[in-house]
Amino acid sequence: MLRPEETRTVLDQITPMVITYNEQPNIARVLDRLTWAKRILVIDSGSTDETLAIIARYPQAQVVTRKFDTFAGQCNFGMGLIETPFVLSMDADYVLSQALIDEIAQLTPAMAVSGYRAAFRYCIYGHRLAGTLYPARVTLYRPERGEYADLGHGHKLAIEGAVVDLTATIDHDDRKSLRRWLASQDKYIVREADHLLSMDPAKRTRIEKLRAMAWPAPFAALFYTLIIKRCLFDGWPGWFYALQRSYAELLLCMEIVDRKLAAGQREADRP
């Protein structure tokens, strides 16, 4: 018979951290895949729907309320509350696959390894798409070696040390309403435009250069998602995703063009 200490895995050394705000359509599916954890840390920014009531069904979940400033601010705050060697940092629409849970359980992390990067399968109402624009992210890492910084409307993790790629994937499955998504775009495009236009042009990536040009980005997003990422073959879920990404780029395009036109008008009005 195995002694208790012989049955322990790296899962016992991980605290999942989930960032939430009004995630009623998503949170149960996320937490159902985290029941292996002894403690789940939830950083909530004042949910007013049934999110907190749903979380209360999970005895290992601890909710800490913090007024939202930025995604990076929420994550960095939460990292200060982690008491285990590793944190699994998650948005409230990340659903772990069983294959990923099994893979993590088999890890034997060397001290030189600071984190693990996972790729995503993008889902539209549970339908897994053939491809996605969503990049792989370091989601499992040693909290003392990482720090988040704001990047456009999102955030980016800077981590010291080696990062290893995981084989299995996470489902990105956000089932909040289209109206909720549309309402969020107004503030997102402002932050994204601020980020793009404040960058040194010489330091922009190829994609950032394309987006800063404004007009090509919506067409490129539609072509890339439908053809290159093969979402065309996913039926209506694929079309929905392609149109959603193209519309987001169209709004950003209009924001950038509007700023350029306004700046030109101000220059013309100078005496």
Average pLDDT per 10 consecutive residues for the chain, totaling 271 residues: 52 98 98 98 98 98 96 96 98 97 96 97 96 95 95 86 98 97 93 93 92 94 97 97 97 96 88 78
CB 92 within 8 A of CB 16: no
Which residues neighbour 126 within 8 Å (Cβ) at sequence distance 6 or greater?
173, 175
- Residue 140: HSE in the Cβ half-sphere, 13 Å Cα cutoff: 24
Q: Are 56 and 79 in contact (CB under 8 A)?
A: no
* 69: three-class secondary structure by DSSP: coil
Contact between 163 and 138 under an 8 Å Cβ cutoff? The reply is yes
Indicate whether this model's pTM tops 0.85: yes
Report pLDDT for 4: 38
Q: Write the CB contacts of 209 (distance below 8 Å, at least 6 apart in sequence).
A: 201
Supply the CATH classification number for the domain 4-172: 3.90.550.10
